[in-house]
Amino acid sequence: MLSQESIRELRSAWLPNITDAGLNRLIDLMEKGSPLLIHGCFTRSVPMGCLATQIAWHHPTTSHMTMDAGITWLHSVAKLNPATSHVLRDWDRRGIHDWEVRSELLEHLKGERLKRHAPDRAEAVDAEMAVV
């Protein structure tokens, strides 16, 4: 499971700063269990990157970057310290192969996408996510 700190950080710093393209990319990689979504480091080789790096490659501020994209996105866009991010620490400890973490994170990402594309459902999604 994601820690409560991770959930708070995800909602306050990550989700508001992820582009639709970045959100869709993460959802796609997670649903497929893709080896392109890694843990334990920001980037192995393009196109292999962690959560933050995959998001950064789909964000206008950092899309031109390669190896430092995730670090830069976390610091400059999400205003987080990459070394102390709760979301990244939970992800790095467990990674894509931990079904519970992946499933819970995927649920939050899909909820965010639904809120963006169906604003009238936003309250219902918020209520559902509060139970998690």
The pTM for the full model equals 0.85
**pLDDT of 130:** 63
Residue 27 burial (CB < 10 Å; 0-12/13-18/19+)? Answer: middle
Confidence of residue 131 (pLDDT cuts 50, 70, 90): low
**pLDDT of 121:** 63
Q: Within 13 Å of residue 94, how many CA atoms lie on the same side as its CB?
A: 18
**pLDDT of 74:** 97
| pLDDT averaged over every residue in the chain | 89
pLDDT digits (tens, 9 = 90+) for 96-127: 677 888 899 999 999 999 999 887 665 655 66
**pLDDT of 39:** 86
b/e string for 34-63 if b means 16 or more Cβ within 10 A? eeebbbeebbeeeebbbbbbbbbbbbeebe
